[in-house]
Structure 1
Amino acid sequence: MEAKFSNGTFIWILQIAKFDISQDISFPAFLTGALIYLFSVLCNGIILTLIVTQRSLHKPMFYIMFSVPLADLLGITTILPRLLIDIVTQSNVVYYPTCVLQGFILHLYGGSVYFILAAMAFDRYIAICKPLRYHTIMTPFTVGGVIALAWGLDFALITVLFALQARLPKCKTFIVNVYCDNMSLLQLSCAGDITVNNIYGLVITGFMQVVGVGVQLYSYVQILKTCLTHSQSDAKIKALNTCSAQIITFLLFEIVSTTVILSYRFQNISPNTQKLCGIMAFTVPPVVNPIIYGMKTKDIRNAFTIVFKKIKGTLT
């Protein structure tokens, strides 16, 4: 993959923006970031391992949920290690193919959140509103199809987004953000009409919001109606427990994303704060989500307790 200048030459190495911090705090910043990354990898890895190894979690709900920690690991691994290396080495250079790959995966992660949570909301809707038909509807084929649709649609949309960006000639070598994304790659161009890029970017952003929010809103409204009309209070508690983690996860992602957008709208915010807000969308959810699912999902808590007791028993 090459970045083509308007004069026909090619560039491979790009300069990338960096945090304006002194050498005195570069190591503490690196250590803090490394601990955050290791914590995220550990927690998400535990969730993934439990879903794979514990038979009690071999259910449609958890097969779909498997994509959440997987996507979180993909997102935080794509952005944080390289950023931490730049903080320590102060090199702040990136190869163009690596930059494109990072941008592609980060956009893939962002889009996957909407589609995966929509798939989980659909599963909860069937489980709570149509309990007698749940196993008939949520067959292995249906579950596999829902997961493939979520990832496949996301992959197709992001592929077209980056294909539109790649067609433009490049004549700049500075990435204005501390990580690579579609917008920063577009800003390397100095010729060509980017109207199509801007329109398509807005269209897929709106589409993801409509599908993600629409499916979840419909599902949870129907679930709420079922709870309110159900005579047994334990059914209401079960519904709230199984849905609360997904709702909190979605609200967290929306709040963090909105904070990132607003940080670039106010001129009095320092560049370092804007850059820090920019990476929040790829670091905060991967750190907090496994805690949410561990606390709010009873089956995961029970599976973890069983495994922990087994490990403890073998060590004593």
Structure 2
Amino acid sequence: MDNVSTVRIFTLSGINETMNYRFTIFSLTLLYYCLILFFNISLVTIIIQDENLHEPMYILLCSFCINALYGTTGFYPKFLLDLLSSSQEISYEGCLLQAFIMYSSACCELSVLAVMAYDRYLAICRPLHYHSLMSKRRLSQLVCFSWLTPFCIFSVNVLLTSRLKLCGSNLQKLFCVNWIIVKLACSEADTFSNSVVAYVTIFIYVFHGFFIVWTYMHLTRTCVRSKDDRVKFMQTCVPHLISLITFIVAMIFDLMYMRFGSTDLPQSLQNFISIEFLLIPPLMNPLIYGFKLTKIRNRILYIVHVGRK
């Protein structure tokens, strides 16, 4: 087939400037990845084992942490191997798979954040109807929505990309990105379908953002009227807001730089911008929720207390 890529290996050249310090970076990255695994797995385990935490808010938090594990596993193991390797290469199929994992995870995170905002809206603004509106069936549907939507969207993205004939194999990144692969296409006319799907994806997740803003407008208006609601807002919504703002800022930096950024910036700064959403949220989120949510904090303190005995 004439429209199938003849490129079978990609070179990840974003790592080149860090090779002089690769053993130091390897050690720090391995430690950091182990911390991400430890805190997210610990939180997931606590929620699964404690029946008192089998509530919508905590189940959504569990889904949030599982997604963090999914997304970071798409980057850190390969990056650690690249630091120890003399050549930073990835197969064509492996590159498409990594691109799928990275950005389906990012979009899944925004979907989960939108569902968490909806859950808080029902709990605070419509408490009398909360259990009927957030039933086990509805919760299951929302969790499936938050995972299946990005999976379906990025399956289409990757399928369209796999049909392109490429005229280059060098990626100026630490990892594979679908849009960067598309830019290697021999003909811009062939990328029209990719652009359409990309804009549809942006529209869908901008809508997610507007939905979250809408829920917080109602939450803020409700909490102003009641002291009890303000306490509930500070305890359960503030961690969500911090997670949301951190994630959106990281993704906007990455997307804006990928589309409009200058190559004159130092490679190390380019690398930090591109992996910011893999550095800060995966470690920060379980720490914030673990310390801020009373039930989880009490459960952690109980486990620590029992462990000392």
Q: Does 1:281 align with 2:277?
A: yes
Instruction: Give 1:209 shift.
Output: 1.9
Q: Does 1:208 align with 2:202?
A: no
CA pair 307-139 structure 1, distance change in 2 beyond 3 A: same
The amino acid that maps onto 1:219 is T
CA contact (8 A) 2:161 2:194 kept: yes
What corresponds to 1:67 in structure 2? 63
What corresponds to 1:39 in structure 2? 35
CA contact (8 A) 2:2 2:165 kept: yes
- Alpha-carbon distance in structure 2 between the residues aligned to 1:38 and 1:168: 37
> TM-score, with normalisation over the residues of structure 2?
0.92
What corresponds to 1:195 in structure 2? 192
Instruction: Give 1:229 shift.
Output: 2.0
CA pair 312-205 structure 1, distance change in 2 beyond 3 A: same
Instruction: Give 1:53 shift.
Output: 0.6
Instruction: Give 1:234 shift.
Output: 2.9
CA pair 74-241 structure 1, distance change in 2 beyond 3 A: same
- Alpha-carbon distance in structure 1 between the residues aligned to 2:142 and 2:48: 19
- From 226, 233, 239, the counterpart of 1:239: 233
The 3-state SS of whatever aligns with 2:17 is coil
CA pair 273-22 structure 1, distance change in 2 beyond 3 A: closer
Structure 2 gaps, min length 5: none
Instruction: Give 1:280 shift.
Output: 1.4
Aligned pairs for 1:1-316 within 5 A: 10-21=6-17, 24-191=20-187, 192-211=189-208, 213-230=209-226, 233-261=227-255, 263=257, 265-313=261-309
The amino acid that maps onto 1:80 is Y
Instruction: Give 1:63 shift.
Output: 1.1
- Alpha-carbon distance in structure 2 between the residues aligned to 1:74 and 1:223: 31
The amino acid that maps onto 1:277 is I
Instruction: Give 1:22 shift.
Output: 6.1
The 3-state SS of whatever aligns with 2:30 is helix
- Alpha-carbon distance in structure 2 between the residues aligned to 1:109 and 1:214: 20
- Bigger shift: residues 151-160 or 116-125: 151-160
The 3-state SS of whatever aligns with 1:20 is helix
CA contact (8 A) 2:5 2:164 kept: no
The amino acid that maps onto 1:204 is T
Instruction: Give 1:202 shift.
Output: 2.2
Number of positions where the alignment pairs a residue of Structure 1 with one of Structure 2: 306
- Alpha-carbon distance in structure 2 between the residues aligned to 1:181 and 1:303: 39
The 3-state SS of whatever aligns with 2:198 is helix
CA pair 235-187 structure 1, distance change in 2 beyond 3 A: closer
- Bigger shift: residues 168-177 or 132-141: 168-177
> TM-score, with normalisation over the residues of structure 1?
0.90
Instruction: Give 1:10 shift.
Output: 4.0
Q: How big is each residue's C-alpha offset from its partner over 1:162-200, in whole Å with a ceiling of 9 and x where there is no partner? A: 122122123322223221110122133213521221232
Q: Percent identity?
A: 25
Q: How big is each residue's C-alpha offset from its partner over 1:124-181, in whole Å with a ceiling of 9 and x where there is no partner? A: 1111111111111111101101111111111111111112212212332222322111
Q: How big is each residue's C-alpha offset from its partner over 1:33-91, in whole Å with a ceiling of 9 and x where there is no partner? A: 11110011101111111110112211111111211111111111111121121122132
The amino acid that maps onto 2:177 is D
The 3-state SS of whatever aligns with 1:190 is coil
Q: How big is each residue's C-alpha offset from its partner over 1:200-249, in whole Å with a ceiling of 9 and x where there is no partner? A: 212211321222x122112111111111222xx23311122111111100
CA pair 5-16 structure 1, distance change in 2 beyond 3 A: farther
Instruction: Give 1:108 shift.
Output: 0.4
The 3-state SS of whatever aligns with 1:19 is helix
